[in-house]
């Protein structure tokens, strides 16, 4: 059987449960009916419907009736579970694809014929707290049962927990397996397991309908990560950071890979310890995973921490003092910073900054990348900062003028906001410069991309300035990364559409 994306149905009432089944038929390869989610009144209604309809459902069905202590939604004893499966109407038993029996249930049927033929039984085991060191022994115990499929799902508390889980897939011999790490650090297993031989992976019908933590939606698995179209030879890219759940990079890079016809995937990797991740997952000589990892985006808090791990750091990244892009070149790891080029490309397209007076607002990481790019282009720079002592080293390094933010009085050609003032979730609606100071300025560039139009940009437009939003830099730096990893020009319009 080909690898599948299976959607769990997690509604509690009969009508929405049946409606969700119809919806799932349209988007998933297989459907898991989580009968344990149903209320006592709804369960017989759904079973009656199934009995009538099961032969007409176009997708393989997995039936599950999980007890609460094993992560299910129902308080049922082992005896009650045995009775449930024994009483299942024969039409349903004949029509279902698989029945998910927890390991204790499988073992309880070891001496007697099971109510569902072993050829249809998934033997499952879940650990919602951790991925224990005893994983292999657990797998071997399950593999000794007569069940057709072995399923193990454990909590991945860190990305390192994905390694033993993916290793289990290699041990599957001739028996299909379903192996998953729960939680965001386990996403890697949910996307890659099927390309490495697992029978299926689970995708929720929609956000909020997940049957376990960290479960992506079926549409994400199918259209964003293209999980079932991947193979062992697929190029792997990703972003390391913490947090990474909010990152827009997977949307941009996966859309770009698809648009240029490159077989590959770009994944968010929630990484706490960059050095350990590079040792175990990235460096070809030491990594414990046999995969075609080509490169990584590097974000907060790892942009500095990765530098000692690299064999080569390019000139721009050295000057900026941060690496946002890692490329695996043969046995070596190379570091780059594409923020500078990514920020400058859209600016260069609008204006020649040579000799122009440019006010850089803020003196943090992005200001450093901007100052480097502007210095190279011969702009006349002034940094405006709230804390002059903190900003002085940056002004010294790039030989710029330095002034207090409240002293900004206009009289400049370009303003670039490199602070978070005005950003969604920080200070949306606020602006670092009052509107009356913007008259006569040619171009106002705000690096913030949420919202796309900040209060600063709105005021600037009203004052007759040309404006540029942060999405241009976001897409620009991602485009430079894409070129470094793939050697192909990035489809910037596709990337823009994916995040715009
Ligand atoms: P950072 O390293 O933390 O630097 C932020 C700078 O803003 C610091 O100089 C900080 O001053 C200053 N600042 C913060 N709050 C301020 C306030 N209320 N008043 C005055 N100054 C304030 O951050 P970053 O990495 O440079 O990022 C800055 C912003 O750029 C982010 O919010 C993000 O939206 C945007 N960005 C966009 C892209 C893109 O691709 N479009 C890329 C990177 C960053 P202190 O040192 O005194 O705290």
For residue 173, the model assigns a pLDDT of 81
What are the strands of the beta sheet with 121-127, ordered from one edge?
177-182, 149-155, 121-127, 98-102, 61-64, 30-34, 4-9, 200-202
Is residue 479, in this structure, part of any structural domain at all? no
Is residue 474, in this structure, part of any structural domain at all? no
Atom of ligand 1 nearest to the CA of 419: 7
Is residue 477, in this structure, part of any structural domain at all? no
**Do 244 and 307 belong together in one domain?**
yes
Is residue 175, in this structure, part of any structural domain at all? yes
Q: Is the CB of 420 under 6 A from ligand 1?
A: yes
- What's the CATH code of the domain at 434? 3.40.50.720
Q: Is the CB of 430 under 6 A from ligand 1?
A: no
Q: 254, 266 in Cβ contact below 8 A?
A: yes
- What's the CATH code of the domain at 331? 3.40.50.10860
Domain interval for residue 290? 237-337+488-499
For residue 1, the model assigns a pLDDT of 57
Instruction: State how far the alpha carbon of 464 is from the alpha carbons of 352, 412, 437, in Å.
Output: 19, 14, 12
**Do 39 and 167 belong together in one domain?**
yes
Identify which of 162, 321, 188, 317 has the alpha carbon closest to the alpha carbon of residue 244: 188
**Do 119 and 207 belong together in one domain?**
yes
Identify which of 287, 340, 326 has the alpha carbon closest to the alpha carbon of residue 484: 326
Q: Catalytic: 126?
A: yes
**Do 21 and 135 belong together in one domain?**
yes
- What's the CATH code of the domain at 28? 3.20.20.70
CA of 303 to the centre of ligand 1 (A): 15
Choose the final residue of a domain: 211, 230, 249.
230
**Do 323 and 362 belong together in one domain?**
no
**Do 372 and 328 belong together in one domain?**
no
Q: 325, 479 in Cβ contact below 8 A?
A: no
Q: Is the CB of 386 under 6 A from ligand 1?
A: yes
Q: Catalytic: 49?
A: no
**Do 363 and 296 belong together in one domain?**
no
**Do 352 and 308 belong together in one domain?**
no
Q: Is the CB of 340 under 6 A from ligand 1?
A: no
Nearest CA to ligand 1 atom 17: 421
Choose the final residue of a domain: 176, 206, 230.
230
Nearest CA to ligand 1 atom 32: 420
Q: Is the CB of 367 under 6 A from ligand 1?
A: yes
For residue 470, how far is the Cα from the chain centroid?
A: 21
CA of 113 to the centre of ligand 1 (A): 66
Nearest CA to ligand 1 atom 33: 448
Q: Is the CB of 321 under 6 A from ligand 1?
A: no
**Do 190 and 326 belong together in one domain?**
no
Mutation choice for ligand 1 from 253, 300, 302, 364, CB with most ligand atoms inside 8 A: 364
CA of 456 to the centre of ligand 1 (A): 14
CA of 479 to the centre of ligand 1 (A): 22
Other CB atoms within 10 A of residue 428 CB = 14
**Do 255 and 370 belong together in one domain?**
no
Q: Catalytic: 120?
A: no
Q: Is the CB of 474 under 6 A from ligand 1?
A: yes
Mutation choice for ligand 1 from 249, 340, 346, 419, CB with most ligand atoms inside 8 A: 419
Q: Is the CB of 336 under 6 A from ligand 1?
A: no
pTM of this structure: 0.94
Is residue 476, in this structure, part of any structural domain at all? no
- Using a 10 angstrom Cβ sphere, with 0-12 exposed, 13-18 middle and 19 or more buried, the burial of residue 438 is buried
**Do 202 and 175 belong together in one domain?**
yes
Token couple for 369: 């990348």
- pLDDT tens sequence for the chain (500 residues): 567 999 999 999 999 999 999 999 999 999 999 999 999 999 999 999 999 999 999 899 999 999 999 999 999 999 999 999 999 999 999 999 999 999 999 999 988 899 999 999 999 999 999 999 999 999 999 999 999 999 999 999 999 999 999 999 998 888 999 999 999 999 999 999 999 999 999 999 999 999 999 999 999 999 999 999 999 999 999 999 999 988 999 999 999 999 999 999 999 999 999 999 999 999 999 999 999 999 999 999 999 999 999 999 999 999 999 999 999 999 999 999 999 999 999 999 999 999 999 999 999 999 999 999 999 999 999 999 999 999 999 999 999 999 999 999 999 999 999 999 999 999 999 999 999 999 999 999 999 999 999 999 999 999 999 999 999 999 999 999 999 999 999 999 999 999 98
Mutation choice for ligand 1 from 298, 418, 428, 469, CB with most ligand atoms inside 8 A: 418
Q: Is the CB of 447 under 6 A from ligand 1?
A: yes
Is residue 419, in this structure, part of any structural domain at all? yes
Q: Is the CB of 475 under 6 A from ligand 1?
A: no
3-state secondary structure the chain: CCCEEEEEECCCCHHHHHHHHHHHHHHCCEEEEEHHHCCCCHHHHHHHHHHHHHHHCCCCEEEECCEHHHCCCECCCHHHHHHHHHCCCHHHHHHCCEEEEEHHHHHHCCCCCCCCCHHHEEEEEEECCCCCCCHHHHHHHHHCCCCCEEEEEEECCCHHHHHHHHHHHHCCCCCCEEEEEECHHHHHHHHHCHHHCCCEEECECCCCCCCCCCCCEHHHHHHHCCHHHCCCCCEEEEEEECCCCCCCHHHHHHHHHHHCCCCEEEEEEECCCHHHHHHHHHCCCCCCCCCEEEEEEECCCCCCCCHHHCCEECHHHHHHCCCCEEEEECCEEEEECCHHHHHHHHHHHHCCCCCCEEEEECCCHHHHHHHHHHHHCCCEEEEEECCHHHHHHHHHHHCCEEEEHHHCCCCCCEEEECCCCCCCCCCCCCCCCCHHHCCCCCEEEECCCCCCCCHHHHHHHHCCCEEECCHHHHHHHHHHHHHHHHCCCCCHHHHHHHHC
**Do 352 and 455 belong together in one domain?**
yes
> How many domains are contained in the chain?
3
Q: Which of 29, 36, 100, 151 is catalytic?
A: 151
Q: Is the CB of 365 under 6 A from ligand 1?
A: yes
Is residue 483, in this structure, part of any structural domain at all? no
Is residue 27, in this structure, part of any structural domain at all? yes
CA 30, 34, 35, 38 dihedral sign is negative
Q: Which is it for strands 98-102 and 312-313: parallel, antiparallel or unpaired?
A: unpaired
CB contact set of 284 (below 8 Å; sequence gap of 6+): 328, 330, 331
């Amino acid at each position: 059987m080909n690898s599948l994306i299976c959607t769990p149905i997690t509604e509690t009432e009969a009508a929405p449960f049946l409606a969700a089944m119809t919806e799932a038929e349209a988007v998933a390869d297989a459907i898991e009916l989580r009968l344990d989610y149903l209320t006592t009144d709804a369960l017989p209604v759904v079973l009656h419907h199934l009995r009538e309809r099961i032969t007409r459902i176009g997708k393989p069905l997995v039936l599950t009736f999980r007890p609460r202590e094993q992560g299910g939604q129902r308080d049922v004893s082992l005896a009650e579970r045995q009775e449930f499966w024994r009483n299942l109407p024969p039409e349903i038993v004949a029509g279902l694809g698989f029945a998910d029996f927890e390991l204790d249930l499988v073992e309880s049927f070891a001496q007697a014929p099971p109510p569902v033929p072993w050829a249809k039984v998934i033997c499952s085991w879940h650990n919602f707290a951790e991925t224990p060191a005893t994983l292999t022994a657990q797998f071997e115990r399950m593999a000794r049962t007569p069940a057709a499929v072995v399923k193990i799902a454990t909590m991945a508390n860190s990305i390192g927990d994905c390694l033993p889980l993916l290793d289990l897939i290699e041990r599957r011999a001739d028996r299909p397996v379903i192996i998953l790490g729960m939680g965001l650090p386990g996403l890697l297993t949910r996307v890659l397991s099927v390309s490495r031989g697992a029978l299926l992976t689970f995708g929720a019908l929609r956000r909020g309908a997940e049957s376990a933590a960290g479960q992506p939606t079926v549409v994400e698995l199918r259209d964003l990560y293209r999980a079932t179209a991947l193979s062992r030879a697929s190029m792997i890219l990703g972003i390391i950071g913490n947090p990474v759940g909010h990152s827009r990079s997977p949307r941009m890079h996966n859309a770009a890979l698809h648009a240029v016809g490159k077989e590959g995937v770009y994944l968010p990797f929630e990484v706490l310890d960059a050095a350990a991740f590079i040792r175990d997952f990235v460096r070809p000589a030491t990594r414990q995973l046999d995969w075609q990892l080509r490169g990584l985006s590097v974000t907060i808090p790892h942009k500095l921490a990765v530098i000692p791990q690299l064999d080569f750091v390019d000139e721009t990244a050295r000057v900026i003092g941060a690496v946002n892009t890692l490329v695996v070149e043969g046995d070596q790891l190379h570091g780059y910073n594409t923020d500078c080029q990514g920020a400058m490309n859209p600016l260069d397209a609008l204006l020649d900054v040579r000799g122009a007076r440019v006010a850089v607002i803020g003196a943090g990481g992005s200001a450093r990348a901007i100052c480097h790019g502007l210095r190279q282009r011969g702009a006349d720079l002034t940094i405006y900062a709230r804390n002059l002592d903190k900003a002085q080293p940056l002004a010294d390094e790039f030989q710029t003028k330095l002034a207090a933010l409240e002293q900004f009085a206009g009289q400049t050609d370009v303003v670039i906001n490199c602070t978070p003032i005005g950003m969604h979730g920080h200070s949306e609606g606020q602006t670092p410069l009052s509107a009356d100071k913007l008259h006569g300025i040619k171009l106002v560039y705000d690096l913030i991309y949420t919202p796309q139009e900040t209060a600063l940009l709105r005021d600037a437009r009203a004052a007759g300035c040309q404006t540029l939003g942060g999405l241009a830099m976001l897409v620009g730096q991602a485009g430079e990364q894409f070129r470094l990893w793939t050697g192909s020009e990035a489809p910037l319009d596709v990337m823009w559409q994916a995040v715009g």
